[in-house]
């Protein structure tokens, strides 16, 4: 059984999540404690040493992210729960954590538990937490670094280190300013969802560019974008209007 702690300031939310887990996943989770605050959770975590924590983000006095700043060591996986806060969700996505939107439903819970079962890789937990806290502490929606999942862990890149991304079937190549090409076994759509939309724009079904490195856009026989490194990439007719609007707004 998975040794689990639920942290949420709302009594009904704690009870409801426990009922979902026991009803739909019998004999899978051992609920060690249900906590209503970060301070209470720290005591429980140190006492029980859980494998998994369901953590509410919006709580009075101390939010969920504060928990990691007060623990000496984190040896458990985390699934965040939240009713809103787009910024928090973006930070969680970019740091490779899982989350559940409230009110939690069985379908979303099932999918999250499936992903938890697939990724049992605690070696990367400290890296993910460090990145998450950095993302939260920036105080904005454009993060310093993104964690891209690889076969062996995560590749951490600053957003402005990325020149463009290119699709290749179910793989994606990230072209960096320093000349490196990082190939990931993820689709371009997956990578696009990790990157801030204020900086990255889809120009073609196969290309996603960093707007900071666009030198010019030409509308001759072909629609083309020239980047600061001299490379030219095609712009599709379908993406033309969105791209033009993006570069106008950027300026």
**Residues 106, 174: one domain?**
no
How many residues does this entry show for the chain?
A: 251
What angle, rounded to 10 degrees, do the helices at 125-137 and 86-94 form? 140
**Residues 23, 102: one domain?**
yes
Looking at 91, 111, 137, the residue that finishes a domain is: 137
Q: Calculate what percentage of the chain has a pLDDT beyond 70.
A: 84
**Residues 111, 151: one domain?**
no
Mean model confidence pLDDT for the chain: 85
**Alpha-carbon gap, residue 100 to 123, rounded angstroms:** 23
**Residues 110, 10: one domain?**
yes
More confident residue, 110 or 178: 110
Number of domains, the chain: 2
Q: Which residue has the tokens 């990724």?
A: 119
**Residues 89, 154: one domain?**
no
Q: How far is CA 134 from the centre of its chain?
A: 13
pLDDT in tens, 50-106: 999 999 988 888 888 889 888 878 888 899 998 876 656 766 765 557 889 899 999
Tell me the three state secondary structure of residue 74: coil
**Alpha-carbon gap, residue 195 to 144, rounded angstroms:** 11
Q: Residue 175: which pLDDT band, with cuts at 50, 70 and 90?
A: very high
**Residues 82, 125: one domain?**
yes
Look at residue 123 in the predicted model and tell me its pLDDT: 44
**Residues 150, 132: one domain?**
no
Look at residue 58 in the predicted model and tell me its pLDDT: 86
Look at residue 85 in the predicted model and tell me its pLDDT: 65
Residues 6+ apart with CB under 8 A from 114: none
**Alpha-carbon gap, residue 8 to 33, rounded angstroms:** 11
CATH of residue 6: 3.40.50.2300
For 131-135, what is the mean pLDDT? 62
Q: Residue 250: which pLDDT band, with cuts at 50, 70 and 90?
A: low
CATH of residue 214: 2.40.50.1020
Give residue 175's domain range.
145-250
**Alpha-carbon gap, residue 141 to 87, rounded angstroms:** 6
Looking at 137, 172, 196, the residue that finishes a domain is: 137
Number of H-type helices and E-type strands within the chain: 8, 15
Looking at 116, 137, 158, the residue that finishes a domain is: 137
Both structure tokens of 98: 């899982």
Look at residue 178 in the predicted model and tell me its pLDDT: 83
- Alpha-carbon distances, residue 224 vs 160, 178, 192, 210, 229 (angstroms): 21, 23, 20, 15, 14
């Amino acid at each position: 059984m998975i040794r689990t702690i639920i942290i949420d300031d709302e009594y009904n939310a704690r009870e409801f999540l426990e009922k979902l887990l026991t009803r739909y996943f019998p004999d899978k989770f051992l609920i060690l404690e249900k906590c209503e605050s970060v301070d209470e959770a720290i005591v429980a975590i140190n006492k029980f040493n859980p494998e998994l924590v369901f953590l509410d983000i919006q709580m009075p006095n101390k939010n969920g992210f504060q928990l990691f700043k007060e623990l000496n060591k984190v040896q458990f996986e985390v699934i965040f729960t939240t009713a809103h806060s787009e910024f928090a969700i973006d930070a969680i996505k970019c740091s490779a954590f899982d989350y559940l939107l409230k009110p939690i439903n069985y379908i979303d819970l099932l999918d999250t538990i499936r992903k938890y079962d697939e990724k049992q890789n605690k070696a990367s937990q400290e890296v993910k937490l460090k990145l998450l806290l950095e993302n939260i502490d920036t105080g904005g929606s454009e993060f310093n670094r993104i964690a891209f999942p690889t076969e062996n862990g995560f590749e951490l890149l600053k957003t402005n280190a990325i020149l463009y991304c290119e699709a290749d079937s179910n793989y994606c190549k990230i072209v960096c300013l320093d000349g490196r090409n990082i190939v990931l076994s993820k689709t371009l759509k997956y990578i696009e969802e990790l990157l801030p939309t204020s900086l990255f724009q889809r120009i073609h079904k196969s290309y996603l560019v960093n707007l900071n490195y666009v030198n010019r856009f030409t509308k001759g026989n072909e629609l083309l974008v020239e980047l600061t490194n001299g490379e030219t990439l095609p712009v599709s007719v379908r993406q033309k209007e969105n791209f033009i609007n993006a570069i106008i707004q950027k300026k």
